[in-house]
């Protein structure tokens, strides 16, 4: 069974249909990127997956459970958003461990898992620093650390790099790719940047106006775009 199954999900705000019936099966360990122009419904889709917005219709399964009506905290997912807010008064160690502490995990276990996450993300030397004493890239890694420390079924990321400058963005793309290879957690990643989508994804979901235009691996999209919109959006000659 797929790791994430989105079945005929639609979303309307009053008369505005933001998502047309949308179905997508995501395999265990897959890195899927939702991409499309601003306003096409990417963030809405991710919020529905996360449980931050209810779907108007349809069902969502994560792992082997239906989660359609479950609260975000009960879905076994971790989110990384564009405006990743680290707690300024807490150290890196406390920031990474915060979610576990809130869940009542015991201190030895928190320390062990924070140390593991810090090692994976190479922030061990900064564990006792406060966020203000970190670079943008280090802060972004701490934000990722907060997600991976929970060992979730899936990561959901909404434009996690868009606040970074161009050079760091390219660097962090590679870091997120390497992190994904190392821990292999199913990831749904949202971006409006087609280069980011084409370089990071196992499969790309191209959206426009709340509709899926095509779902395919990057080389397939490039060689066989389904329509002119897809070809124009990814800059394919076809």
Nearest approach in angstroms of CB 206 to ligand ADP is: 12
User: Are 149 and 99 within 8 A, CB to CB?
Assistant: yes
Candidates 151, 146, 2; CA nearest to 62 is 2
Candidates 201, 174, 175; CA nearest to 187 is 201
Query: Would you count residue 41 as binding ligand ADP (CB under 6 A)?
Result: yes
Complex with ligand ADP: residue 3 or 44, whichever CB lies closer: 44
38 binds, among Mg ion, ligand ADP, none (CB under 5 to 8 A by kind): ligand ADP
Helix (H) and strand (E) counts for the chain?
A: 8, 10
Query: Would you count residue 191 as binding Mg ion (CB under 5 A)?
Result: no
Q: Tell me the HSE value of 54 on the side-chain side, using a 13 A CA sphere.
A: 5
Nearest approach in angstroms of CB 18 to ligand ADP is: 4
122 burial level (CB within 10 Å; 0-12, 13-18, 19+): exposed
Query: Would you count residue 43 as binding Mg ion (CB under 5 A)?
Result: yes
Q: Which of 4, 6, 9, 18 binds ligand ADP (CB under 6 A)?
A: 18
Interactions with ligand ADP, residue window 44-63 (CB under 6 A): 44
Q: Which of 13, 83, 182, 228 binds ligand ADP (CB under 6 A)?
A: 13
């Amino acid at each position: 069974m797929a790791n994430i199954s989105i079945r005929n999900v639609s979303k309307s705000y009053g008369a505005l249909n933001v998502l047309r019936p949308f179905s997508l099966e995501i395999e265990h360990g897959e890195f899927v990127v939702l991409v499309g122009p601003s306003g096409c419904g990417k963030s809405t889709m991710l919020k529905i997956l996360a449980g931050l917005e209810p779907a108007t219709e349809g069902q969502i399964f994560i792992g082997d459970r239906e989660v359609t009506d479950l609260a975000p905290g009960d879905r076994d997912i971790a989110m990384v958003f564009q405006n990743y807010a680290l707690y300024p008064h807490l150290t890196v160690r406390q920031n990474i461990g915060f979610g576990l502490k809130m869940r009542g995990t015991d201190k030895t276990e928190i320390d062990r898992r924070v140390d593991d996450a810090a090692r994976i993300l190479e922030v061990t030397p900064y564990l006792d620093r406060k966020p203000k004493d970190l670079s943008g890239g280090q802060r972004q890694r701490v934000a990722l650390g907060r997600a991976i420390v929970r060992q979730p079924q899936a990561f959901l990321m909404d434009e996690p790099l868009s606040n970074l400058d161009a050079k760091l963005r390219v660097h962090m793309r590679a870091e997120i790719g390497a992190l994904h290879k190392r821990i292999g957690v199913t990831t749904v990643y949202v971006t409006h940047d087609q280069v980011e989508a084409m370089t990071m994804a196992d499969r790309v979901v191209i959206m426009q106006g709340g509709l899926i235009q095509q779902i395919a691996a990057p080389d397939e999209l490039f060689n066989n775009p389904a329509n002119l919109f897809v070809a124009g959006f990814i800059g394919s000659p076809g």
